[in-house]
Structures are given as structure tokens and as C-alpha cells.
Structure 1
């Protein structure tokens, strides 16, 4: 698709820079289906992208890192010198460049193969990184993050109110969920699936089929000889399954990036 004739502000004008044709075409297709994207232009490498920058303006650039010639990191530094630099989202197969990526101001860092829900989140992050009014055209829709901000726990003749922000992780117990805070735990009759959906905007992510963890409470990830990958929190260790490991790492990368800004 060509950048010429794109609507100017009804959505993001996106440039995809990727040397692998099949990967590039799939990313172009997925971005083209996003309601927050006005149009997508593609380039098969860094040099081609620089040539496009001379004749077209973009709001966001989704680019690979490992490319022949001008690689993704070098291109990101070129983009940063523009008078109105676009938001940068790296799309790569390796985690090893994440720290460097956020060091050059990346809005997000996606791992291949790209999942639709993570791509949607990256588009929203790119839109939020642009210097425009949050309520203006192209801004991501607001998401309600106050659902179950306080959980009511009935314990015999006592009622305890637990702030969601104090909950570090939640563990499934049959038809119940045990909520773990720094100094206590509380059993509530809720499903983990419901909490996963309700608390996603507040930074909770599924770490294991039986666990949710609050990203902001993770101090580090480590590999235990007995439990495999584990997320450490002050309230205790949370197992991270192979199925959910990538999502946890991506969210943790993003949280650390945001905290550093």
C-alpha cells in the first residue's frame, strides 16, 4: 500500500520495515485490519525506509532489528533525529535487544510470531506516544481499570476490604481464588478467568493456568531447578508456565520501560 492519499489524522500512518517478505506481508495485513490504523506502507530494509521518509510522513514505524545493511537500531536512531519523530515499535525474534530498544525510546517491543492482542496493545502504545491530545483523533480508546478496585471478603462475622493495588498475585483454589498481599491472603468466591479479564487494565497477567500476577510487584524472574521459571514478588514466588512466559516477559519489559520514563 502506498503512503500517498492516506487520511491525515483519522488513524495512525504506519511504516513496516522488515526484510523477510512473508513476515512483512503478514504484519502489514494485521496492521491494516486495526481500526486505529489509517494506512500501512512497507519497506524491505532500512535504506528503503530512509528513502520513503524523504517523501512521506509516518506516525509509527514497526521495524525488525536484524536486517542487512542499515539495521533496525541504526534506523531507529535516524528516526529519532527527525523534527517530528514517529513512535517506534520493534518486531523481532530475540529478547536480547530489549534494553537497548527502550534506550532509544521505543514505544513497545514485540516478539515474533506476533499475536493479535499484543499487536493491538502496541498500536495503542504507539498512539499514546505521539504528541497529540488524549481525546483527539487517533488516540487509543480509554479502558476502564476500576472494576473490582476493592474486593469485599467475608470471613465469618467479619468483613475485610482488600485493595486491588495491594494484591500481588492470585491463585486458583477450586471455585475460589486466594488473593495474596504482602502480609496476608484472602479466599474469595471468584473465578481466576473473571479476574484475569477484569484486572487486565490494572496490570495483572496470567502467569500459569492457576495464577495471575501483578506486573508491578514482580521484582525479577528466575529459573528454579524444581519449579522452572518463577516470578518473584514480596508476597511469594509465582510459577510461570512455558505457555505464558512470553506474555509475562513482554509485559514486564513494558512496565520497566514505562517506569524509566
Structure 2
């Protein structure tokens, strides 16, 4: 190793955190090592500096290691991620989201050194140029609504959530609910870059409209909005939590627009 690495450790257990920091500082080629007890503290550190690598515990309260890794991946210069956990059950998911290594607790000095070598190789690899994200479809920024012989126009920013109704969608707004003849998938494609997320097979949700996340009487996760509760399927729950967290961190949401 020739270039010193800066490393962030995120671990909620103090003894495990201190031991990992100690092991990392003992590896030649490692420069500064910072530690955080949770995801929120880690993101505060990342506001002021960049890290070459992040060693993340998976089973943390609040935003877990997998969810934090997904947030880190959207940084302008994301750190290489190494997961450190007591269980093997998340290994496939970990490598699926681009982790460079997966260490089982208690990690040995040799395995920590091996993980850092993989971090070096990952940083030395050429980074493919990312395609520019598509612009929101201009013709979907305003929707024409026909109702009872009247025509009105609903702007995208007025919509809190969208519900599928056969070959129509129903737009929930402060001014009321309106049916538009179009598939939900079309709005999902056109509005995905404007702060809308598919959270259920039949629902598209504006992140800015979410007041909080709740669990209803039957254990269903729902996003509470001023227009009502929107069901969130298990397959979409993690992405919704990640995007809400990132949006709140960046100041893109905070006050609820009713």
C-alpha cells in the first residue's frame, strides 16, 4: 500500500467500535480513522470531509448499515464500503449493493488488512462515467383533468400521492382528488426525477408530502400524508426510508406542504 487511507467506522457497540478503530490504526498505510456510533453521526462527519473507506456495522438502530451504504453510494465521491457484522445472513445483499468486503465479528487484524487491500484495489479501478439522469418529462409537469364537463390543470407539485385505478390514476391534492386516464407506470417514469417514488404496486408517493412513517393495526407500514395514509410494500420500504433520510439530510424536505 502506498497511499494513506482515511477510514470511517460506524458501529453502535462501543467495545466493537474501539477494537475496530484500534485494528485499523495498526495497519500501515492507514491515515486518519474516525468513528461514529450511528448513521446520523456518520452523515454529520461526511458533511465536512470525505473518506476513502467506510466500515459499517449492519445491525444498528435507526438507519441500518445496508440503508446507510445506499445513502453513501449517492455521494459525489462515495467511500468504499466494508461491512462488519456478527451474521453471515446479509452477505449476498452486501455484495449486491457494491461492498468490497464483508467481515465477521470479531474481525482479526489479518482480515482487516485484507479488506483494506481490497479498498485500495477498488479505488485504483477506473470509474465508469455515469449516464446523466433523465430530465422529468415536460409534458407530465402539468396534467389535464376532465371532470363533469369541466377542464382543469393539475401541476405536479400539487400532488401528494397517486393511486392506480384500473386504466386511470387518481391524483391526491389539497384541492381534491382527480382521475386521469393514464397508467401509473407512465407517471412513475416521468416523475421519478421530481421527488416521486413508487412505494406500492398501486401507489406513487411525493417524498415532500410524507409527514411520518407508521405501522397500522395489522402491521402494514404506511406513509402518513395530509391526504391520508399510503401503504408501503416490504420490497419498497428500504428505498423509501433511504430517500426520506437523504432528502431530510440535504434539506430538500422538512416542513410538510399541506
Normalising by structure 1, what TM-score?
0.56
Q: What corresponds to 1:169 in structure 2? A: 161
Q: What corresponds to 1:146 in structure 2? A: 136
Q: What corresponds to 1:229 in structure 2? A: 221
Which consecutive unaligned segments of at least 5 residues does structure 1 have? 5-12, 20-43, 62-69, 102-108, 130-136
Q: What corresponds to 1:96 in structure 2? A: 61
Determine if contact 1:124/1:139 at 8 Å carries over to the other structure.
Answer: no
Q: How does 1:1-261 map to 2 (within 5 A)?
A: 45-47=20-22, 49-50=24-25, 73=37, 80=45, 85-86=50-51, 91-94=56-59, 96-98=61-63, 110-111=66-67, 119=70, 122-127=72-77, 142-147=132-137, 148-155=140-147, 157-226=149-218, 228-259=220-251
Give the count of matched residue pairs: 193
Kindly provide the CA deviation profile for residues 112-154 of structure 1, in whole angstroms up to 9, marking residues without a partner as x. 8x7xxxx4x743324399xxxxxxx999654344322222223
Which consecutive unaligned segments of at least 5 residues does structure 2 have? 12-18, 80-126, 254-258
- State the 4+ residue runs in structure 1 displaced beyond 6 angstroms: 13-19, 87-90, 137-140
Give the superposition deviation at 1:18: 9.5
Kindly provide the CA deviation profile for residues 206-256 of structure 1, in whole angstroms up to 9, marking residues without a partner as x. 221111111111001111114722111111111112222222212111122
Cα distance change on mapping 1:17 and 1:71 into 2, 3 Å: closer
Q: What corresponds to 1:67 in structure 2? A: none
Larger Rg: 2
Cα distance change on mapping 1:52 and 1:168 into 2, 3 Å: farther
Task: Work out the CA distance in 1 between the residues paired with 2:28 and 2:128.
Answer: 21
Determine if contact 1:17/1:46 at 8 Å carries over to the other structure.
Answer: yes
Give the superposition deviation at 1:177: 0.9
